[in-house]
Structure 1
Amino acid sequence: MSRSPRRATALLLACVLLPPLTAASCGHEPSGVTVGTAGRGTVDEIVEASGAVTARAAGTVTSPAEGTLAELRVEAGDRVRKGQVVAVVDSPAAQKRLDSAAEALDAASGGGVPAGGGTAGFVAARQRTDANADKAFAEAREAAAAITDEALRKVLLAQLAAAREQYAAVSEAAAAAVRSLDRGVASVSQAVSALSAAQRVQARQAYELAEAAVDALTLRAPVSGVVQLGGTGATGSPSLTDLIANADPAAATTGTAQAPLPGVDVAVPEGATVGTGTAILTVVDTAALGVAAEVDETDVLLVKPGGTGTVELDAAAGATYEAKVRAVDLLPTTSARGGVSYRVRLSLGKGKYADGTAAPDPRPGMSAIVRLRVRQATDAVTVPAGAVQSSDGRDVVWADRGGKAERVPVTLGVQGEDVVQVVTGLDAGQRIVVAGADQVSAGQDLP
C-alpha cells in the first residue's frame, strides 16, 4: 500500500496495546512472519511541509525625492507607532517646485488673460495652460509613485485624480467659450473669464500637488513595529557585476546603483545624500508571528482553516511551537523542481522545549517544518501500517483463522505512517500478521 512520504503519525497508542510478540512491528526490524492482534487506540494523520516564519506586516520607508536625509529620528531596534514621524528628507528640487507653483498661483490670482490676439491668442493661451497642467500632473504622479506608504500613496493619487477631473471640466469650459467667441456667440469678456478660471484652477492644483510632495518629505512609519535601518534586501558579498559597477567612475553620473562594499554599514546615515526610492528604514510588525508553509497538491485538500499542528525551527532545535491554520491559498505555487504546491498560512503560538521551558521567540524568515493534524481517529481499531497489503485494487490483511492465514479485505480510515485505522473488516483483539505480510500465502500455517 503506497502512502505519501510527507505524512507521519504523531500518536501511536495502538503500539502499547498490542501483545509483546508484536513489538517487532512497533519499531524493531521484524524477522520473518510475526503474528499479533489488532489494537484499539488513537491515530493522527499528519501532513508535513516546509515553510518559513512570517511577520504580520512590514513596510520600508523610502525617500520620495532626491535630497538629503536631514533628520533620522529613530534607531535600530526602536519600537514605533503607525504614523509616527521617523525621518525628514530635505529636497531642494521639491521645494523649488513648490516655490515656482506659489509664484504661478499669485500671478494667476492677480490678473486675467490679455484680450489681444483674437481667437488664436485665446487658443494659444489655453494650450499653454493645458501644458502646464499636464506637467504638474506628471510631477505629482512621479512623486506619489516613489512613496512606499500605501495609505499615503493612495491619498496622493486620489488627490491627483480629483485634480485632473476638476481641471478637465474647466479646460473644456474654456475651450467652449473660445469656440463660441469664434462663432460670434460669446463676447471677449466671457472667453477671458473662462480661460482665467482655467488658469487659476491649474495654478491652484499645481501648488496643492507640489505642497503635498513637500509634505511627503516628512516620513512616517507605515505600520507599528520594530525599526530596522535600511531596506529588506540581502547584504551579502557583492557580485562581479557589482564590483565592476563600483569601480566604474561613470556609474556616479549614469545613475547606476552601487552595491554596498563588504564591511560597510548599509544604513543611510543622517546627512547623507539620498535618491528617489532610497530605502531609509524598515518597520517590522512582530506582534503576531505566523508561518507560511508550502503543502503538496496531494495533501492540500486535507488541510482546512482552523486545523492545528506543530512547528519545529532549525534555529530552536528541540522546541515545538503550536500553530493554527488561518487560510489555504487557492492559487498554486510551482517549485524549482516543477512540483505544484499551495501556500498554507498559519498563526504561530508560543513554543516549549521537551522539559517545559519556554522557547525563544523566532524571527521572520526562519526555516520551519510544519506538521499539520489533518485527521484523527479515537478509540479506533488499529493495525501497523506494514500489516496492510494491496491485492486486486483492495486493501487486505492476513488474519489468523485456526492457525491458517486467510486474506481479509479491510476498509481503512485515518492513515498514519506507522499505524492505520481499520473501519471495517477487523475487530480489536483479532489475530493478524503484523510483520512479514509479503511472505504469507493463503492457507499457510501461522506461528
Structure 2
Amino acid sequence: MRRARPPRLSAVPRPRLSALLAVVVLLGLTAAACDDDDAQIELATAELASVTELVDAPASVTARAAATLSAPADGTLTSLRVEPGETVEAGQVLAVIHSPSAQDRLAGARQALAAANRAGRGAGGGADLSRLRRGTDRAAAQAFDAARQAAGKLTDQRLRAALLAQVTSAERQYEVAARAAGDAVRAVQRGVAGLNSAVRALSAAQRLQAEQAYDLAKATVDALTLRAPIGGVVQLGGTSSSAGPAAGLAGLLGAAGGLGPLPGADAAGADSSAGPAAPVPGVDAAVPVGGRVTAGTPVLTVVDLTDLGLVADVDETDVLLVRPGVPANVELDAATGASYPAEVRSVDVLPTASTRGGVSYRVRLSLAPGRFDDGRAAPDPRPGMSAVVHLRVRQAADAVTVPAAALLSTDGRDAVWVVRDGRAERVPVTVGVQGQDLVQIVTGVEPGQRVVVGGADRVSTGERLG
C-alpha cells in the first residue's frame, strides 16, 4: 500500500503557520485519496488447487425410441386393446381397424388370382396376345402403385419399409416375366414360334401379377391390425409438433434410432409421411373406438423409456473441447434443485443452425437418475423436457491456480500482475484449464506468489504494493 509521509511542522518558521495548516489539510486529503485508491487494489495468492472447465449448452431429454402407429387405409377404429400409459411388448396387438375399401381390394385380388390360375383361355391371334399383354402390364402397374401409396401412409417406419421392399421385389419379378411374355408374343408375330409358347408366357405373367397383387392387398389388410413395433409406454394419437430448444425436437437424433419424427424421441432416419390435417386447437386428436380414420391418421404412439438421453446444442467455439466420455451435470427446468449425471456418447460432424444465430453441433448424452441437493431421488424426466447441460470438458488436479479476475489479456496474450519484492510486475502467463472462479497457470506464476485481482487498471510496473 502506498502511504503519504506526514509533514515536518517543527522545521517551518512561525509566521507561516496559518499557511502551513492549509497545506497540512491538503496533504491529508491527498493521502486519504491515495489510501482509497490502494484500498481498491486487491491482492490474492496463487495456490495449488483443482480446477474444472465447464461448457454450458441448452438440451432436451430424448427417449430411446418411439413409434407412431397410423391407419394404413380409410376405415373405422373397431377395437382398442390397451389403455393410455400401459406398458406393452413388441409385437403385441394394440388396435384393430375395419376398412371396407381394403377388404374390397383384397376380394378383387383374390378373384383375379383365381381367374389367372385358369390361364390360357381367350388367347387368340397376335393382336389379341398384344392386347392381353398390355392389359396385364396395366393391371400390374395399378396394383404396384396402389400398394406403394398404401405403404407410404404408414408412420411405422419398419412396417412401411417392409411393404415398400415387397413392392419393389414384386415389380422386379414381374418385369422378368413380362419381358419373357413380350419376347414370346413378338416371336409369334414374326412367325418364328408357335402360339402355345406365347400363351404359356402370358399366362405365367398373369398368374405372377395376380399373386403379387393379392399378396400386396393382403399385406394392407394385415396392417389393419396395429401391433407394437417396439416395447414401451402407450399414448393415444400421434405427437405434437411443438418446437424445442434444439431447432424443433421433431428433428432430434437420439441414442438408438427412432421410428418416426417424434418430439423428444430419437428420429434417426425418419421421414414425415403425408398424413391428415393438423388437429384443431381445443379438440382432442385421439381417435375413439368407433371413430373414423383416414389413411395416415395417427392412432397410437409407443415410447421406449428404458434408456433416456439428451441432445444438446454446443456452440462452435466450444465443440472442439467436447468428445465421447466427457462427464456432465444436467439441470432440468421441471426439477428445480435437482442434478442429473450424464456422459457424452457422440458429437455430430455436421453443424446445425444455432438458436443463438451462429453455428452449433448436436451432442448426444446418456442420462442417469438424478438427486436433489438434500439427497432425495429426483423424478424421472419426460422426453422433450428442456435442460441445461454443464459439460466438464477439462479438469486439472493440484494445479497452480489464480482467481479468474487476475487474468489480463492484451493483443491475444495473457498476463498477470505479480508482486515481487513488494513491487508490481506484469508477467506473461500460459493458461491451462479455465474454470468459472479459478484459472490454471501453466507457466509464469509460482504457488504462494501474490497477484493483483482487483484494480489492475490502476497498477503500473514497479509500483510498490503491500
1:115, 1:303 → 2: CA distance? 72
Equivalent residue number for residue 304 of structure 1? 323
Conserved? CA contact 2:315–2:354, under 8 Å: no
Equivalent residue number for residue 272 of structure 1? 291
| 1:40-119 equivalence runs, <5 A | 40-116=48-124, 118-119=125-126
Matched, 1:378 2:397: yes
Equivalent residue number for residue 257 of structure 1? 277
1:133, 1:425 → 2: CA distance? 81
2:68, 2:312 → 1: CA distance? 24
1:183 deviates by 1.2
Q: 1:231 aligns with which of 204, 229, 238?
A: 238
1:410, 1:294 → 2: CA distance? 32
| Partner amino acid, structure 1, of 2:358 | G
Q: Which runs of 5+ in 1 are unaligned?
A: 1-29, 236-254
2:427, 2:102 → 1: CA distance? 83
1:314 deviates by 1.0
2:278, 2:411 → 1: CA distance? 66
2:116, 2:100 → 1: CA distance? 24
Conserved? CA contact 1:325–1:344, under 8 Å: yes
Equivalent residue number for residue 329 of structure 1? 348
SS of equivalent residue, structure 1 residue 100: helix
Matched, 1:154 2:154: no
Equivalent residue number for residue 138 of structure 1? 145
The 1:331–1:137 alpha-carbon spacing in structure 2 relative to 1, beyond 3 Å, is same
Conserved? CA contact 1:386–1:437, under 8 Å: no
1:157 deviates by 1.6
Equivalent residue number for residue 219 of structure 2? 212
Equivalent residue number for residue 366 of structure 2? 347
Residues 35-85 of structure 1 deviation map (CA, whole Å, 9 limit, x = unaligned): 221111000000001111111111111000000011111111000111211
Equivalent residue number for residue 176 of structure 1? 183
The 1:435–1:109 alpha-carbon spacing in structure 2 relative to 1, beyond 3 Å, is same
| Partner amino acid, structure 2, of 1:271 | G
1:133, 1:392 → 2: CA distance? 74
Conserved? CA contact 2:313–2:354, under 8 Å: no
| Partner amino acid, structure 2, of 1:151 | R
Conserved? CA contact 2:119–2:207, under 8 Å: no
The 1:256–1:419 alpha-carbon spacing in structure 2 relative to 1, beyond 3 Å, is closer
SS of equivalent residue, structure 1 residue 88: strand
Equivalent residue number for residue 34 of structure 1? 42
1:147 deviates by 1.7
Residues 367-422 of structure 1 deviation map (CA, whole Å, 9 limit, x = unaligned): 10110000001000000111111245421111112111111111110011221000
SS of equivalent residue, structure 2 residue 193: coil
Equivalent residue number for residue 191 of structure 1? 198
Equivalent residue number for residue 167 of structure 1? 174
Conserved? CA contact 1:113–1:196, under 8 Å: no
The 1:268–1:392 alpha-carbon spacing in structure 2 relative to 1, beyond 3 Å, is closer
1:391, 1:303 → 2: CA distance? 27
The 1:187–1:428 alpha-carbon spacing in structure 2 relative to 1, beyond 3 Å, is same
Equivalent residue number for residue 239 of structure 1? none
1:288 deviates by 1.0
Conserved? CA contact 2:276–2:296, under 8 Å: no
SS of equivalent residue, structure 2 residue 369: strand
SS of equivalent residue, structure 1 residue 327: strand
SS of equivalent residue, structure 1 residue 165: helix
2:347, 2:280 → 1: CA distance? 38
The 1:111–1:398 alpha-carbon spacing in structure 2 relative to 1, beyond 3 Å, is closer
| Partner amino acid, structure 1, of 2:371 | K
Conserved? CA contact 2:53–2:392, under 8 Å: yes
Matched, 1:200 2:197: no
- With normalisation by structure 1, the TM-score equals 0.86
2:173, 2:412 → 1: CA distance? 73
Give 1 or 2 for the bigger CA radius of gyration.
2
| Partner amino acid, structure 2, of 1:41 | A
Over aligned residues, Cα RMSD in angstroms? 1.7
1:336 deviates by 4.9
2:278, 2:337 → 1: CA distance? 42
Matched, 1:407 2:426: yes
2:61, 2:78 → 1: CA distance? 35
1:401, 1:446 → 2: CA distance? 9
| Range that drifts further, 320-329 or 388-397 | 388-397
| Range that drifts further, 81-90 or 331-340 | 331-340
The 1:156–1:392 alpha-carbon spacing in structure 2 relative to 1, beyond 3 Å, is closer
1:154, 1:392 → 2: CA distance? 58
- Give every structure 1 segment of 4 or more consecutive aligned residues whose post-TM-superposition deviation is greater than 4 Å: none
| Partner amino acid, structure 2, of 1:54 | T
| Partner amino acid, structure 2, of 1:42 | S
1:142, 1:355 → 2: CA distance? 57
| Partner amino acid, structure 2, of 1:64 | P
| Range that drifts further, 209-218 or 383-392 | 383-392
SS of equivalent residue, structure 1 residue 168: helix
The 1:291–1:261 alpha-carbon spacing in structure 2 relative to 1, beyond 3 Å, is closer
1:91 deviates by 0.6
2:138, 2:373 → 1: CA distance? 72
SS of equivalent residue, structure 1 residue 331: coil
1:337 deviates by 4.6
Equivalent residue number for residue 406 of structure 2? 387
Matched, 1:127 2:120: no
2:141, 2:157 → 1: CA distance? 24
The 1:393–1:274 alpha-carbon spacing in structure 2 relative to 1, beyond 3 Å, is closer
| Partner amino acid, structure 2, of 1:57 | A
2:338, 2:425 → 1: CA distance? 46
Residues 281-339 of structure 1 deviation map (CA, whole Å, 9 limit, x = unaligned): 11111111111111110000000101101000111100000000011111111135521
Conserved? CA contact 1:67–1:89, under 8 Å: yes
1:388, 1:76 → 2: CA distance? 57
